[in-house]
Amino acid sequence: MERTFVMLKPDAVQRGLVGEIVQRFERRGLKIVAMKMVHISAEFAHKHYAVHVGKPFFEGLIQYITSGPVVALVLEGANAIDVARATMGATNPAKAAPGTVRADFALEMGRNLVHGSDGPETAVFEIGLWFGEQELVDYGRSVDAWVFE
């Protein structure tokens, strides 16, 4: 099983979409192995978005992501990274496929509701940044036999 990191951004929290978005991941069959709500600092945001330092949108991104609480999740499942990203939709909501989180609830890239790891290395880094090992809960679900071969 693969794990991935997902963050529901301040706009998702402020608009009351946390439950709806989490439900979409669960309905796909992904299992929540960690979840918390936090109001991150600028210092922490810089660590999370370090790959974007120096890009024109960086400072605005930091201001936005620290403007309110976020919900951080670790999801687990077969092909969890690709499945989570497909559920979220394209980064630009105008180009996101119908039925995805971003197509259904967002209009602009700067307020696109969710962040998800873009690959295995990123997932390991982001999960380790946001969660301690003791916060990741390993458990079985009776439904897993109906989700996974």
Report the pLDDT averaged over residues 118-143: 96
Range of the domain at 84: 2-138
Residues 47-101 have pLDDT tens digits of 999 999 999 999 999 999 999 999 999 999 999 999 999 999 999 999 999 999 9
In a domain, 33, yes or no: yes
Name the packing angle between helices 80-88 and 120-130 (round to 10°).
80
In a domain, 143, yes or no: no
CATH number at residue 23: 3.30.70.141
Active-site positions read: 115
Quote the pTM value. Answer: 0.94
**Number of independent structural domains in the chain:** 1
Residue 149 — very low, low, confident or very high, per pLDDT cuts 50/70/90?
confident
In a domain, 103, yes or no: yes
In a domain, 85, yes or no: yes
In a domain, 37, yes or no: yes
The CA distance from 6 to 8, in Å, is 7
In a domain, 12, yes or no: yes
In a domain, 149, yes or no: no
Residues 10-53 have pLDDT tens digits of 999 999 999 999 999 999 999 999 999 999 999 999 999 999 99
The CA distance from 120 to 76, in Å, is 12
